[in-house]
Amino acid sequence: MWQIIDAYIGLLIMLTGTFTFGKIVLNEKIKIKKTKFFLLTLLIAIIQTIVGLNLSGTIKTIIMVISNVCFYKLTFKISYKKSMLLALLQMFILIIPDLLELFFLTKVLGFSKEQCYNFYARSIISNIIIILLLIIITYILRKILRRLINEKLEDNKKIICQLILTFICVIMFFYIIIQEFRFQDNVMVYIISILVLIIVLSSLIKQT
């Protein structure tokens, strides 16, 4: 029972981060009544809790992304294309705090990767730290992210498909590495690679 409660509270915290990420990137307020927003958040958290406790791998990730797409669509009243790009951007940026937290626990505090996964990963404390880092990173990168999300890409379906496929592949690659502990010790190289990819994608979009 406590596992379910812990997972639900953790996902409520993550949804708070999801909302804050969207608010910073879109630079907009919520477009629905606060009561509906509150109920929507509780419902999405319930769905993600069920998914998180019963599924794993690619299927779990896809459903989580879809639920976030619906959350953005209903909360900010934006298009499905923009909601999808926003959800993938969030998952993409989340890799950075995940890596930073893992680096701090294993290299600074001396925990093994297995200890981090079994006793700390996705705990309430872990989720709070990750969301705080996500908000800080999002605020720092807000201009680049706004450029990515606000460019008029509706007429260029090729660019949209390339962006979505790029984000999906990178997200799956990094989360497989993190979850199976197959990354090397040079975590900062991974983080820099992600930042460079974001800048490159932003530059390519600007040139379209």
The predicted structure's pLDDT at residue 96: 82
Residue 200 has pLDDT above 80, yes or no: no
Give the whole-number percent of the chain exceeding pLDDT 70.
Answer: 67
The answer on pLDDT for 72 being more than 80 is: yes
pLDDT in tens, 74-115: 999 998 888 988 988 888 888 888 878 877 887 777 777 666
Q: Which whole number is the average pLDDT over 129-138?
A: 92
CB under 8 A, 24+ apart: contacts of 149-155: 149/25, 149/26, 149/82, 149/85, 149/86, 149/89, 151/205, 151/206, 151/208, 153/81, 153/205, 153/208, 154/81
pLDDT on residue 176: 57
More confident residue, 204 or 43: 43
